[in-house]
Amino acid sequence: MLAGIVLSIISLFIGAIDIKPTDLLDWESDETQIFLISRVPRLMAIILAGAGMSIAGLIMQSLSRNKFVSPTTAGTLDAARLGILISMICFTNATFIQQVIFSFAFALLGTIIFMQILDRIKFKDAIFVPLIGIMYGNILSSITVFFGYEADLLQNISSWLMGSFTLVIAGRYELLYVAVPAILLAYLYANKFTVAGMGEDFAKNLGLSYRFVLNLGLTIVAVITTTVVLTVGVIPFLGLIVPNIVSLYMGDNLRKTIPHTMALGVVFLLICDIIGRVVVHPYEIPVNVTVAVIGSAIFLILLFRGRAYAK
Amino acid sequence: MIEIKGLTKRFGKKTVVDNVTAKIQPRTITSFIGPNGAGKSTLLSMVSRLLDADTGDVLLDQTSVKKWKSDRFAKRVSILKQSNYLNVRLTVRELVSFGRYPYSKGRLTDEDEKFVDQALEYMNLTDIQDQFLDELSGGQRQRAFIAMVIAQDTDYILLDEPLNNLDMKHSVQIMKILRKLVDELGKTVVIVLHDINFASVYSDRIVALKNGKLVKDGPTHEIINSKALREIYDMDIPIHEQNGCRICVYFNSHTHAN
Ligand SMILES: Nc1ncnc2c1ncn2[C@@H]1O[C@H](COP(=O)(O)OP(=O)(O)OP(=O)(O)O)[C@@H](O)[C@H]1O
Ligand SMILES: [Mg+2]
């Protein structure tokens, strides 16, 4: 928590243009304007995306009963992107709202299809399942690229291939606030998700309407993923590694772990973003690159030492 | 009262539970016995609504279990399945607390906490209540599951081979606690057992299944005799009386081919 606050402040004052806290005292200065138009929205976007993607991953892991299922490894992100592309093909000048709706519908559908696949396969190995998910995501991705190429929209969709906070300025990121009620809902239903995570038989024995909770969870995941993909793009691995780290030291009682998962997600993304901004200053490495590098390394560590625990 | 009426379940062409009719008498321990694959678990799953029957019905207080609302049903009937695979990292206490879910939806009241404490104590888990389930031995985990069901405090408690993985001391302890739940708190326990001596010593009634059919249903003393056991298990089992308990000495019995 404390780390989050410190990092937030650091994040506010790092960038191509130096802004000192004292500059802010002058309300009219350029620095203050940049601060309000770019830095503050950027920080908010990082916080919302970091918390959102981590919670989305946590819910997916609970509902699928597999530690390595997440928006990255279940096709959710790829489906959301395919949805955006389809909306752009269907309506030549797709409005933002149309993109949102399509992206959401595809993210939801794509995830449901993956859960169906998961239901059918017999061999539910902790590592085999995410591999299937990644393959499935790649198939969706190639469909996206194929149609994007055909329709000459590759340029457009490439901005969603890349997750980056560079383009986040006031007026372009507000959709992310839709993730706030979704996260709140996740917290309110935390106990239900934990019970659902114990499996259908346990859930039924305790009188939980399993189907309803499953559908609600997948909807929350789709909402969060859509808002993040449409505003900052694809941020891989976050929903995978953050909940796993928290689970290692805190367990899987969601009511307890949701606040920690959110906080760690934010801190992790802030660190990645700051690294991306500092390393090649005054230029930037897109955050999805830093997240992918650090995230995949942590993922591998989790895979190797966590094989026993993930079962 | 739970009434099982003409219950049938098929998997593919195979009839696994075949037109079973029985009544579970309130305030008793009823043991379900029978060979592997007889259909005991399937029957229990249908009674507890985890599985839908093909034909027939189960009535709880004269109302079909299908018509009960799930949260009300969860306060009347609880089930612990034969094998429980949990890959959720919960502490023992957290797991047992979720037994109170039908009442409190996860926000435990003081009363809920009392039930949880009691269940932990019954199952000898108080010392390890803060350990994670995946760090326990098989028997300790099994006791944690039983504690959860006890915390659920339902009138009907269905247990499918709960003595799996348990040492003698804990097996006896658990049977005694079930006896206490029935005699003092008026619960009704249905339990699947393979060790017929536990069935003989602790249960009031025995229901025997074989190849999906109900072959015996009656008070314990009518079932624990060599003739009835031969019908159920195709084994000649001598019976010794000891301090008023009938003990079946099956370890070196002559078996019949079937
Ligand atoms: N999901 C299923 N699909 C197909 N067949 C099944 C299924 N579940 C159970 N069976 C079959 O139904 C029969 C009865 O199974 P059940 O688990 O009820 O037996 P049981 O009496 O509990 O045996 P045990 O003492 O070994 O636990 C078995 O022959 C089993 O193969
Ligand atoms: Mg069985």
Q: What is the mean pLDDT of residues B6-18?
A: 95
φ/ψ of residue B243, rounded to 5: 45, 40
Mean of the pLDDT values across residues B179-191?
95
How far is residue B79's CA from residue B190's CA, in Å, rounded to a whole number?
9
Same domain, B168 and B238: yes
Q: Report the gap between the CA of A190 and the closest CA in chain B (Å).
A: 9
Tell whether B41 and B118 lie within a shared domain.
Answer: no
Q: Which amino acid is at A155?
A: Q
CB B152 within 8 A of CB A206: yes
Name the average pLDDT for chain A.
Answer: 83
> Which residue range(s) make up the domain with B243?
1-68+156-178+187-258
Q: In chain B, how many domains are there?
A: 2
Give yes or no: residues B147 and B164 share one domain. no
Q: Are residues B25 and B128 in the same domain?
A: no
Per-residue pLDDT tens digits for B120-134: 999 999 999 999 998
What residue type is A91 in one-letter code? F
State the complex-level ipTM.
Answer: 0.89
Weakly modelled stretches of chain A, pLDDT under 50:
310-311
Chain-chain contact of A253 with B105 (C-beta, under 8 angstroms): no
Helix (H, G, I), strand (E, B) or coil at A57: helix
Q: Does A127 touch chain B if contact means CB atoms closer than 8 Å?
A: no
* Binary contact (A206, B101; C-beta < 8 A): yes
Question: What DSSP letter does each residue of chain B carry, written as one string?
Answer: -EEEEEEEEEETTEEEEEEEEEEE-TTSEEEEE-STTSSHHHHHHHHTTSS--SEEEEEETTEEGGGS-HHHHHHHEEEE-SS-------BHHHHHHHTTHHHHTT---HHHHHHHHHHHHHTT-GGGTTSBGGGS-HHHHHHHHHHHHHHT--SEEEEESTTTT--HHHHHHHHHHHHHHHHHH--EEEEE-S-HHHHHHH-SEEEEEETTEEEEEEEHHHHSSHHHHHHHHSEE--EEEETTEEEE--TT-EE---
The mean pLDDT of chain B is: 93
pLDDT-derived band at B31, boundaries 50, 70, 90: very high
DSSP structure class, residue A94: -
Within this chain, do residues B104 and B165 fall inside the same structural domain, yes or no? no
Same-domain check for residues B60 and B85: no
* DSSP strand pairing (B2-11 vs B14-24): antiparallel
Nearest beta carbon to residue B74 from set A65, A206, A255: A206
CB count within 10 Å of CB B216 equals: 17
- The confidence score (pLDDT) of residue A311 equals 45
Residues B60 and B167 in one domain: yes
B146 in the same domain as B203: no
Mean per-residue pLDDT, B242-246:
88
Best probe of the B interface among A69, A206, A255, by most B CBs < 10 A, is A206
- Do residues B205 and B242 both lie within one domain? yes
> Distance (Å, rounded) from C-alpha B96 to C-alpha B115?
9
| Confidence band of B257 (pLDDT split at 50, 70, 90) | low
Locate the chain A residue with the closest alpha carbon to B106.
A191
Could you tell me the distance, in angstroms and rounded to a whole number, from the CA of residue A153 to the centre of ligand 1?
55
CATH code where residue B10 lies = 3.40.50.300
B134 and B162, same domain (yes or no): no
pLDDT digits (tens, 9 = 90+) for B163-176: 988 999 999 999 99
Give, to the nearest 10 degrees, the angle between helix B168-185 and helix B138-151: 10
Q: What are the tens digits of pLDDT across the range A8-62?
A: 667 666 655 666 666 666 666 676 777 677 778 888 888 899 999 999 999 999 9
Question: Structural domains in chain A?
Answer: 2-11+23-310 (1.10.3470.10)
Chain-chain contact of A311 with B87 (C-beta, under 8 angstroms): yes
Does residue B82 share a domain with residue B34? Answer: no
State the Cα–Cα distance between residues B149 and B146, nearest whole angstrom: 5
Average pLDDT over residues B159-166: 93
Q: How many contacts (CB atoms, under 8 Å) link A and B?
A: 74
Task: Flag whether pLDDT at B89 surpasses 60.
Answer: yes
Domain shared by B81 and B27, yes or no: no
